Amino acid sequence: MRTHIPYLLAVASTVATRRVDERLAAYDLTVRQYGLLTQLSLEPELTMAELARQLGIARQSVHQLVNDLVEAGHVRRRPGADDRSRRLEITDTAHYLLSRIDGPLERVEEELLGDLAPEEAETLRGLLQRVLAHATDDEAWLPAC
């Protein structure tokens, strides 16, 4: 019997999330908060609905994440195209925080990937980006060329 890819991805996600959360605790962040900040740094001024779609999580979860990040001073809400929508942007504090946690996250990546060669790691990264672009119907996951 072969092991199905969705199961492998789910287990890998659980292991990676636990390890990243352990490292990010020193910065008072979770992997989900990091993901939201990263998406906003790559695509400034997304709405909560757009973030929910890109991150593959419920809008209610995005609302809670945003509320926590606003309270921490990492995200600002801006008026959107209509009275109901809000565009989100990260603050200078968040930009600085993201630059500080790059090293610890690279170390987690190295631990997780073990003895994979650098070109294998980049192949895995590219394949995961393509899977996410397809699964979310959002090409923003694809690397900029």
Mean pLDDT of 84-108: 92
Q: How far are the Cα atoms of 10, 40, 60, 66 from residue 74, in angstroms, in the given order?
A: 29, 11, 19, 9
The confidence band for 81, taking pLDDT boundaries of 50, 70 and 90, is confident
Better-scored residue on pLDDT, 76 or 79? 76
User: Does 85 have pLDDT greater than 80?
Assistant: no
The pLDDT value recorded for residue 3 is 95
Q: What is the mean pLDDT of the chain?
A: 91
Q: At what angle do helices 118-136 and 92-113 cross, to 10 degrees?
A: 120
d(CA 82, CA 86): 8
Under a CB-based contact definition with an 8 Å cutoff, are residues 108 and 10 in contact?
Answer: no
Share of the chain above pLDDT 90, in %: 70
Instruction: Choose the weakest-confidence range: 95-99, 131-135, 138-142.
Output: 138-142
Cβ-based neighbour number of residue 34 at 10 Å: 19
Q: How far are the Cα atoms of 37, 45, 78, 100 from residue 97, in angstroms, in the given order?
A: 10, 19, 21, 5
Mean pLDDT of 95-122: 95
In order, the DSSP letters of 30-92 are -HHHHHHHHHHHHSTT-BHHHHHHHHTS-HHHHHHHHHHHHHTTSEEEEE-SSSS-EEEEE-H
User: Does 128 have pLDDT greater than 70?
Assistant: yes
User: Does 145 have pLDDT greater than 80?
Assistant: no
pLDDT tens digits, 12-67? 999 999 999 999 999 999 999 999 999 999 888 888 888 888 888 899 999 999 99
